[in-house]
Structure 1
Amino acid sequence: MYNVMLVDDDYPVLEFLSEMIDWDGLGLTLQSTHVNGMSALKEAAENMPDILITDIGMPKLNGIELTKKLKEKNPALLVTILSCHSEFGFAQQALKLNVQEYILKDMLDVNEMIDLLRQFVDKLNNEKKNKINQLKMAQTIEQNKGLMLEKFINKTINHPIHNKKDWQDEAYLLGLQPNQRYMVILCLINQYQSVLHYFQSTDLLNFFVQNVIAEVIENEAVNAVHGQFEKEKSFLFVSLNMEEEVEILKIKGLIKKIQIIFQDTFGISFSFRKGNAAEKPIDIKLQMMKLIEFNVSKICSNIEIENACKYILDNLHRKITLDEVANYLHLNSSYFSRLFKKEIGENFVKYVVKLKMNRAKDLLDQTNYTILEISEMLGYENQSYFNKTFKSFEGLAPIEYRNGKIEWGNMNGVKR
């Protein structure tokens, strides 16, 4: 049942509408009648109606002012104005307040009023149904958000982003705002197999981690989204809105809080690897891939090689030499070369080329940069040498690789 409030200083009008309309039959309750706007306003403060039927000219508070004040508290309020005034000025004021109907009293017909009320009931029923559906959808999304985020993160990393708007729409449903800068952070559960053995289920472990981190994010009042990727790896996206120094302190505080809660309460150790700020979908994807590449390359416990791999990833945009990295680490070049191959399993040059070519493939897949621009973005001074290196690595020239991807996308109905 929806509540109706009648307001008119003309008592016969109140009596006529009260008695001539079958309120219950319409699914309505006549909650109150008032002879002035001030009385109606006080009643609405305790019990806001769904429908307001009001006169304009009344003592203490007129119908226009009453409607305005009630609309401020309940914008969805449905309003019919009854008036003796046919002047355009009054109707114009009513239109500005989004009043549903403006009826002249000398043309008032009870059957027309009943039809109007039926329309109001239908409108309120539809709005109620829509709200319930939206609530159910929000509940479903929340319940499945962890799984949806995991699928979204995996799809972002492992598949091309063919349509930026589609990616942003899906990201928005999962809590990532479009055109918002995010710090991308890789989260790692240390000694993963031991932790998994304790929980005995990947799903249970993922659910536990997701809920604990979500609770920390809420308690710390940080605008961030956390989602699972695979096994021990998950991602944290922290929105950036303030000055860089303030944001870095905020992120450090959040990470520290997560580490303390997991370690002190549950005996689980977490590590974090911070990427760079990113806003565009392709830049967010590249940051995620960069963090994963670094984590995959970190297959040894040697801190010097770990730092070398990080340095390489941070400088893929230019030419990198073995001597340069050795100097950065304050190591002898020959010693560094032997140590690198021992720990990584391939020599320095092959490792750098592999990372550059994988990055080139992403840029060919995901962007409209020309091949010359891509070669320059990866530190190649000569496009011909870049083409030769790419073909040696992939078995196709860059243009052939890109055209092949476009043709495959068109065959599958993908818009680039």
Structure 2
Amino acid sequence: MYKVMLVDDDYPVLEFLSEMINWEDLGLQLQSVHGNGLSALIEAEENMPDILITDIGMPKLNGIELTKKLKEIDPSLLVAILSCHNEFHFAQQALKLNVQEYILKDKLNAEEIVQLLRQFVETLDLETKKKKNQLRLVTTIEQNKGWMLERFINRTIHHPIHSEDVWKEEAQLLGFLPNQNYMVIFCFIDHYQTVIQSFRSTELVHFLVHNVITELMSGEHINAMHGQFYQNESFLFVPLNQEWDKETKKIKNFLQMIQETFQETFGISLLFEMGRPAARPIDIKEQMVNLIDLKDSRNRINNEIANACKYISDNIHRKINLEEVAQYLHLNSSYFSRLFKKEVGETFVKYVVNMKMNRAKELLDQTNYSIIEISELLGYDNQSYFNKTFKGSEGISPIEYRNRLYKREMKI
């Protein structure tokens, strides 16, 4: 229902309008009645009516001033002025404020007021329908904008840029600013298939990622654009000013906030790769392609290291050297050595020793194998060398480790 506010310092008029009109039948709600303009203004600032019926001559704040102030808050407010005055200058002021009706009190007629209110309701219905259509249009445009941006991103990556002017023209339609430096950021979902199985819909996941990032950008007043690229991958374009260092720090903090939001709220691990600032179409394209290649390269490296670690685990019962594993992976041994240390955080030899020592502790804890049998199970030909390696890793000999465990069990 639309809300109506009555304002008049003449109580009989308020009583007449309140009781003689069946507001609900008209699809209206009589929100409130007021004996002066100031009281009406105070309420309207908290609870704005759709229709105002007001007297002109009132204490504290007259009807013209009240109308003016409320129109400043909501220009679409519908107003009918009641007055005992028929002087032209009052009607003139009302017209300047786009007042819909000017009614003389001495000609006040309930049926005429009802007819006026019906017209007001029709006007409000049309306005409501218009707003709904506008909202639907904006929603459609935004949905198409996402689809258009996705196509734009794919064309930029997969096809040559024959004309920078044409590229810029399309980019501006999608929200890119002309001659603006952008930080290009590649976004991707870790363990994508697991996420899809959890949400059971690729469309839902893509919708979720886009809308949450967009809402967070809006909340942080970051005028960036986010567009889908392929399955679990999308791009974020963040405009930069000249203070790139400060902006880059701000962007990193923002990306961390996005990651925390997705992890804590949805259990989704969203990862990012940041490029370098770029403004020219060819430079933006280069950053996008480089970021995709970087991610693919890291995936390949991660797979190689994962395969190496599995190979070590599967062959922990015998001697293993770096050259053997590098050959298994078809990699140069020097390159593999550097790669392994960079990705795992320790040298190949130390990793293998730690794996063997962890396995040795399991055997000492859970089996009755002798120390020499355990050393042989882990590929050591010499028990004394095994003892020395174990003590260097754990600070005590294998027999001391087992005896300490035995003593703890005896106490229990």
TM-score scaled by length of structure 1: 0.54
Q: 1:130-279, aligned counterparts within 5 Å?
A: 130-135=130-135, 147=147, 149-154=149-154, 168-169=172-173, 171=174, 176=175, 181=180, 183-187=182-186, 189=188, 195-196=192-193, 199=196, 206-207=206-207, 209-210=209-210, 213-214=213-214, 217=217, 220-230=220-230, 233-240=233-240, 243-255=243-255, 269-276=271-278, 278=279
Alpha-carbon separation, structure 2, partners of 1:293 and 1:177: 19
Map of 1:384 onto structure 2: none
Map of 1:289 onto structure 2: 285
Alpha-carbon distance, 1:144 to partner: 7.8
Q: 1:282-361, aligned counterparts within 5 Å?
A: 283=280, 285-294=281-290
Report the secondary structure of 2:102's partner residue.
strand
Report the secondary structure of 1:14's partner residue.
helix
Map of 1:71 onto structure 2: 71
AA matched with 1:37: G
Q: 1:230 to 1:301 in 2, by over 3 A?
A: closer
Cα deviation, 1:97-119, whole Å, max 9, x if unaligned, reads 33222234455554443332112
Alpha-carbon distance, 1:80 to partner: 1.0
Alpha-carbon distance, 1:260 to partner: 7.6
Alpha-carbon separation, structure 2, partners of 1:180 and 1:97: 44
AA matched with 1:66: L
Alpha-carbon distance, 1:122 to partner: 0.8
Alpha-carbon separation, structure 2, partners of 1:287 and 1:188: 19
Bigger drift between 91-100 and 130-139 goes to: 130-139
Alpha-carbon separation, structure 1, partners of 2:116 and 2:240: 50
Cα deviation, 1:126-157, whole Å, max 9, x if unaligned, reads 22233444455566677787556423533666
Alpha-carbon separation, structure 1, partners of 2:29 and 2:258: 52
Alpha-carbon separation, structure 1, partners of 2:9 and 2:82: 11
Residue 185 of structure 2 contacts residue 272 of structure 2 at CA under 8 Å; is this kept in 1?
no
Alpha-carbon distance, 1:67 to partner: 1.8
Alpha-carbon distance, 1:54 to partner: 0.9
Residue 183 of structure 2 contacts residue 240 of structure 2 at CA under 8 Å; is this kept in 1?
no
Map of 2:316 onto structure 1: none
Q: 1:56-67, aligned counterparts within 5 Å?
A: 56-67=56-67
Residue 3 of structure 2 contacts residue 31 of structure 2 at CA under 8 Å; is this kept in 1?
yes
Alpha-carbon distance, 1:79 to partner: 0.8
The unaligned stretches of length 5 or more in structure 1 are 303-416
Cα deviation, 1:331-368, whole Å, max 9, x if unaligned, reads xxxxxxxxxxxxxxxxxxxxxxxxxxxxxxxxxxxxxx
Residue 180 of structure 1 contacts residue 240 of structure 1 at CA under 8 Å; is this kept in 2?
no
Report the secondary structure of 2:130's partner residue.
helix
The unaligned stretches of length 5 or more in structure 2 are 299-412
Report the secondary structure of 1:290's partner residue.
helix
Alpha-carbon distance, 1:60 to partner: 2.2
Bigger drift between 56-65 and 98-107 goes to: 98-107
Report the secondary structure of 2:276's partner residue.
strand
Residue 51 of structure 1 contacts residue 78 of structure 1 at CA under 8 Å; is this kept in 2?
yes
**Count of residues in correspondence between the two structures:** 289
AA matched with 1:90: F
Give identity over the alignment, percent: 55
AA matched with 2:23: W
Map of 1:126 onto structure 2: 126
AA matched with 1:183: Y
Bigger drift between 196-205 and 65-74 goes to: 196-205
Alpha-carbon distance, 1:82 to partner: 1.8
Alpha-carbon separation, structure 1, partners of 2:43 and 2:121: 22
Alpha-carbon separation, structure 2, partners of 1:259 and 1:38: 50
Alpha-carbon distance, 1:229 to partner: 1.6
Alignment of 1:36 onto 2:26: no
Q: 1:117 to 1:230 in 2, by over 3 A?
A: same
Alpha-carbon distance, 1:28 to partner: 2.2
Alpha-carbon distance, 1:228 to partner: 1.4
Map of 2:85 onto structure 1: 85
Alpha-carbon distance, 1:31 to partner: 3.5
Alpha-carbon separation, structure 1, partners of 2:129 and 2:36: 34
Report the secondary structure of 2:67's partner residue.
helix
Q: 1:80 to 1:180 in 2, by over 3 A?
A: farther
Residue 273 of structure 2 contacts residue 291 of structure 2 at CA under 8 Å; is this kept in 1?
no
Q: 1:25 to 1:290 in 2, by over 3 A?
A: same
AA matched with 2:98: N
Alpha-carbon separation, structure 1, partners of 2:261 and 2:23: 58
Alpha-carbon distance, 1:180 to partner: 8.9
Q: 1:87 to 1:290 in 2, by over 3 A?
A: farther
Report the secondary structure of 1:124's partner residue.
helix
Alpha-carbon separation, structure 1, partners of 2:291 and 2:268: 24
Alpha-carbon separation, structure 2, partners of 1:74 and 1:60: 22
AA matched with 1:122: E
Q: 1:150 to 1:59 in 2, by over 3 A?
A: same
Q: 1:89 to 1:138 in 2, by over 3 A?
A: same
Report the secondary structure of 1:76's partner residue.
coil
Residue 5 of structure 1 contacts residue 30 of structure 1 at CA under 8 Å; is this kept in 2?
yes
Alpha-carbon separation, structure 2, partners of 1:299 and 1:12: 78
